[in-house]
Every structure is written in structure tokens, then in C-alpha cells.
Amino acid sequence: MQRTVLVLNSGSSSVKYSLVQPESGVSVANGIIERIGDDHSLARLEFGGLKVERERSVADHEAALRLTFDLFAEVGGHLGTLGLVAVGHRVVHGGRDLYQPTLIDDAFVAKIDALSALAPLHNPPAVLGIEVARRILPDVPHVAVFDTAFFHDLPEMAATYAIDREVAQRWQIRRYGFHGTSHEYVSQQAAKFLDVPLSQLNQIVLHLGNGASASAIAGGRPVDTSMGMTPMEGLVMGTRSGDIDPGLVFYLARTAKIPVEEIESMLNRRSGVRGLAGVNDFRELHKAIDAGSSDARLAYEVYIHRLRKYIGAYLAVLGDTHAITFTAGVGENDAHVRRDALTGLAPLGVEIDEHLNDSPARSARVISAENSPTKVLVIPTDEELAIARACAAVVDPGDADGE
């Protein structure tokens, strides 16, 4: 039987999961429990062509995971019979010291928990997910994989904020970068796709999902990335502001007397495309633009303008850029965004082919003009597979990585 890894991504009110075969790369099952703590929580599971959906009250993360395992059993697959060799937990923030995929024991949970001060929105739900999953599946090894890991060795000049050095050191303030699993996976796939050794490739990866980040990668090593100490910095996102003048936070706190938690929540949940246009899904944004909404048009223009600024910056950081790759929900599906992000960059060596860009294909593909010095690619990300492979390598180092 093929080995499987259960990959869990625990948020404050949702748990996403995937059951993945690390060797073959097949996703056996996946699903989500949303609105945990609500009377109308929604649990979904897709397994072997079957889709199950349940709406009911799910009080907490423990109830959510138990319901998930019940759903598995219902569609004919008790987890114990599915070759489960590990549970992989996506952990957003590893701080300065945690970056290797690591077998979780009590002491390691405490280390992740200790980073909650640095990542108050993200690490507490991950810790909760780990604790619950370890309770429910005590006989399977649990492994933590960090979203910051790939950027651990970001060059100091890119990782350092120009602020008081002592304060920064004392409070562990630096640019950590996030979406690392995706940037690493997609950059490796780009090298394979182009049949060029990773070590010889300078590339820009644009992970444009609901969260969004850009990275500049030289020879497989990141040299800059747009997210910083938290996942708020950088590109305009579905609900996050991306770059802002920090002065506006002081102004809102001091003059508008808005509590700091409220400001944080606004910048994370009610900003970005949603803050400007009232929707954060790009399919809805385009509909609103087509219906004549000037707010939606402005949101789109602000989003594209910021994206172009980062692309320009990273072309300069890298010098000779061989590839620009779009990935994640928006990057993989939205031909308008890809076109508008790169239009007019032929003098910088980047030219897309409109026809290729408009193709609805789902697989990895080139969308640049044949004579474009910089290749432009669309590559589907697969963070779950990358996490599953990292976990499989930890639990059985001799038998990892199907590629």
C-alpha cells in the first residue's frame, strides 16, 4: 500500500486537510471544516470521487477533527487503513530558530507556542491543531513544517529593517517571509519544467492567492521576498493591506483612538481588495468591474500597480532574470492579472504571448512570447504535497521524495 500523510492547516476558525501520497504525489482526499465554533459549521470532504458535506454545530477544533475522521469512515476509509505514516502540520511562524521540518514532542509544541507573541494570529491555532491531532492520533508521528523556513537564510540586507538595532534584536524583529513552502516548491518545479538546473536559474515567483507574496530567487536561494515580520507586508491581498506607511497606525491609534487590536484586525481582514471593493474573490471583482463599479476598478488598479512595483524591484535585485512564475488561485487562473502585471515590460526583457496567456489549461505552462528573454510561466502550487514530502523524509529519511 502507498504511504499517506495527513496534512493539516489549522486556522482560528477553520481546519483544511489533505491526505497525500508523498511518493506518487496523488491527493487521496481533501477537505475543510469552516466556521468552527458556529452553530452552522460546514464540513466538506472529497474522497475517491465522492463529495460529502455536513452543516452542523462544531464547537471546537477537537470536534472538527473528530467529525472529519467520522466523514472518512463514512465514505469507506478509516484513516488507519489508508497507509497513514505521519500527520504534517503547517505552522506559519518558526521565528529565528525553527525552520527544519521537525518531529513534534511536548517540548517542541512549547517552542511553537512560545512564538505566539510574534505571530498572535497564526501560531495559536496551529498549536491547538497540533494538540488536538496528537490526542486523536497518538500512534502516528506528527511533524511541523514552517511557512517561514525557506526564507530562513534570506540575506541580511533583505531581512533587516532599518530600525534601532538593539530593539530589533531584543524583540526578534526581522523580515521572516511566508508562503515559503509554495515559493520553494514552485521554484523547483519551474527549474524542472524549463529543464535548467535550479542552481543556474534567477527567478521571480508570484504567489497570488487570497494571501499574496512575491519572491526573488537566485540559484534556488531566496534573495528577497515581499512579506516581512508578519504576512501583512508587501503586495495588496484579498483582505490584507500589504505595504502601508506605519505612520497611519500611530495616527489611527492616537488621533482616531481606535484600539490597536481593531487596527490590526482592519489591516488583516477588512483591507486589501476587500477593503477597497467589498469583495476579495477576483471572480467577483471582475464581475463588479464589468458592472461598472469604480471602487472595484480602483481596487484592481491598486493591486496591479503594487504587483508591478515588486516585479520591477525584483528584476533589479536579480539583474538577469530567467523566469517569472505565477502561482496560487489568482496567479494560476486570472489571465487579466497576469497580462496587466507584465504589459509594457518588453524593454526589460519580459513579453507575454496573449494567446498562450488566455489558454484555460490547468497544468504547468509557458505564457511568454517565443523571443522573450525572460520566460513567463504558470505553475500550479501544491503546498500539501511539499509538506507531505517533507514529513515523509522526517519519519523515514531513507524512503522519501517520489521525484
Mind telling me the catalytic residues? 147
DSSP for residue 344:
T
CB of 289 to ligand ADP, least distance (A): 12
Tell me, what amino acid is at 400?
A
Q: Residues 156, 162, 168, 174: is their CA dihedral positive or negative?
A: negative
Which residues participate in the annotated binding site? 9, 16, 90, 207-211, 281-283, 329-333, 383
Select 99 or 282, whichever has its Cβ closest to ligand ADP: 282
Give me the least distance between CB of 279 and ligand ADP, in Å please: 9
Q: How far is the CB of 108 from ligand ADP (least distance, A)?
A: 25
Q: 22 or 329, CB closer to ligand ADP?
A: 329
Q: Which is nearer to ligand ADP, 182 or 372 (CB)?
A: 182
What gap in Å lies between CA 103 and CA 394, rounded to an integer? 7
Residue whose beta carbon is closest to ligand ADP: 329
Instruction: Dump strand ranges (E) for 13-114.
Output: 15-20, 27-34, 41-47, 50-56, 84-91, 102-103
On the CB side of 79, how many CA atoms lie within 13 Å of its CA? 25
Nearest approach, Cβ of 379 to ligand ADP (angstroms)? Answer: 13
Of the two residues 131 and 184, which places its CB atom closer to ligand ADP in the complex?
A: 184
Alpha carbon dihedral 91, 96, 102, 106, in 10-degree steps, equals: -80
Q: Which is nearer to ligand ADP, 206 or 394 (CB)?
A: 206
- CA angle in degrees (0–180, nearest 5) for 30-32-35: 175
Rounded to an integer, what distance in angstroms lies between the CA atom of residue 289 and that of residue 336? Answer: 12
- Please, are residues 276 and 298 in contact by the beta-carbon 8 Å criterion? yes
The CA distances from residue 196 to 27, 63, 65, 190, 193, in Å, are: 27, 47, 42, 9, 8
Q: Are 235 and 310 in contact (CB under 8 A)?
A: yes
| Partner residues linked to 327 by β-bridges | 207
Contact 194, 203 (CB under 8 A): no
Contact 181, 150 (CB under 8 A): yes
Residue list, annotated binding site for ATP: 16, 207-211, 281-283, 329-333
* Cell, residue 51: 463529495
Q: Which residue has the cell 509554495?
A: 182
Smallest separation (angstroms) from ligand ADP to the CB of 381: 7
Residue 28 phi, psi dihedral angles, 5° rounding: -75, -40
CB 336 to ligand ADP: min, Å: 8
Nearer to ligand ADP, 129 or 141 (CB): 129
**Side chain identity at 389, as an amino acid letter?**
R
Task: Output the known binding site for Mg(2+).
Answer: 9, 383
Q: Which is nearer to ligand ADP, 109 or 121 (CB)?
A: 121
Q: Are 134 and 165 in contact (CB under 8 A)?
A: no
Could you tell me which residues are annotated as the binding site for substrate?
90
Calpha distance 317→326 (Å, rounded):
18
Nearest distance from C-beta of residue 334 to ligand ADP, angstroms: 4
List residues near ligand ADP by CB under 6 A. Answer: 209-211, 238, 280-283, 328-330, 333-334
For residue 59, give the C-alpha cell: 464547537
366's enclosing H/E stretch is: strand 365-366
